[in-house]
Amino acid sequence: LAFEPSNIKLPLAQLASDHPLHEALATLSAQLDTLILTLAAQAERAESLAACLRRACELHAALKNFQTEAPTQTDKICWIEVFAYTVQLHITPLSIAPIFEKQRAGTPRAWIFTSATLSVKGDFKHYAAQMGLAADRSISLPSPFDYAQQALLYVPQGLPQPAAPNFIDALWEVVLPVLEAAGGRAFVLCTTLRAVNQIAQRLRAVSQTRAWNFPLLVQGEASRGELLERFQQSGNAILVGSQSFWEGVDVRGGALSLVIIDKLPFAPPDDPVLAARLALLEQQGLSPFVDYQLPQAVIALKQGAGRLIRAETDRG
């Protein structure tokens, strides 16, 4: 079984009925049947065999769901993700609101959601709609940070469109002097793994030609926790990362004084889950861009930019 090219995402419905994946999944299902029968005959001999039997049954049920049941449900999308050596099967709900409503109903209690990025221009409707919550039960408090005094925003002019072939080259010409002026101490947040690799490649080259002493940390070369620990310890490192570093990262003090964002973080339009959700919004008479893509990008941008100022004494 082979896919070309590798590292792609596509909905199951997009595959032709005679695609080899369907035959491969049928073969896998038959092999799981045989394995389950074999384990069932031996499960009483040891708890480890009984655990294997339970696991095999769970896998078989999940595979059957992916093949026959979930594709007929309009509130879910079945899709596949192809990597160099593996294929992952996914079933994703188009909305988590009904799921969360059942969770809240099953465990009555007070639910409090707090974050600096729940609202768009002080409006919680987008988040509330996603979660199935009442938007009127919300409050927006002012930030404790004085961004006008603590931070400087630089938006370069004249860059080509992000889809242009020379975008990364043009971006690099802007990024390089800013990194040098900051003395490292920077996050370079990219919207794609391809951009991470392209920026990292250029940074390695310039580090050698200019004899930089800024440690270079790149997503994928170590765990997230290890990269962050090394970043804080070095004091002048440059970390290049994508989505996993846009949120949930708290680096206070002088180790981080510069955050560079390569472009507005709109989700890739060819993402199968996004495409299905946008199609559903159109069916509901809503605007996919105004009601979903733009608010999502605004929230993601706030999360990325929010890595810079983490305390009232931070500057950057």
Q: Which of helix, strand or coil describes residue 217?
A: strand
Q: Position 89: which residue type? A: L
- Residue 264: phi and psi, rounded to 5, are -60, 135
* Whether the predicted pLDDT of 1 surpasses 60: no
Question: What mean pLDDT value characterizes the chain?
Answer: 90
Buried b (16+ CB within 10 A) or exposed e, 42-53: ebeeeeebeebb
Buried b (16+ CB within 10 A) or exposed e, 150-185: ebeeeeeeebeeeeeeebbeebeeebeeebeebbbb
- pLDDT of the residue at 5: 56
In the chain, pLDDT over 90 holds for what percent of residues?
Answer: 67
Second-level CATH architecture of 147-305: 3-Layer(aba) Sandwich (3.40)
Q: Model pTM greater than 0.85?
A: no
Residues of the chain with CATH 3.40.50.300: 147-305
Is 102 buried (19+), middle (13-18) or exposed (0-12) by CB count in 10 A?
exposed
Order across the sheet with 258-261: list the strands.
216-218, 238-241, 186-189, 258-261
- C-alpha 22/C-alpha 80 separation (Å) is 12
Asked whether the beta carbons of 271 and 292 are under 8 A apart, the reply is: no
Radius of gyration of the chain (CA): 24
- C-alpha 119/C-alpha 125 separation (Å) is 8
Quick count: other Cβ atoms within 10 Å of Cβ 78?
21
User: At 2, is the pLDDT very low, low, confident or very high (cuts 50, 70, 90)?
Assistant: low
pLDDT digits (tens, 9 = 90+) for 251-264: 999 999 999 999 99
| Residues in Cβ contact with 168 at an 8 Å cutoff, skipping those fewer than 6 apart | 195, 198, 199
pLDDT digits (tens, 9 = 90+) for 15-67: 888 899 899 999 999 999 999 999 999 999 999 999 999 999 999 999 999 99
- C-alpha 174/C-alpha 165 separation (Å) is 16
- C-alpha 208/C-alpha 214 separation (Å) is 11
- pLDDT of the residue at 135: 66
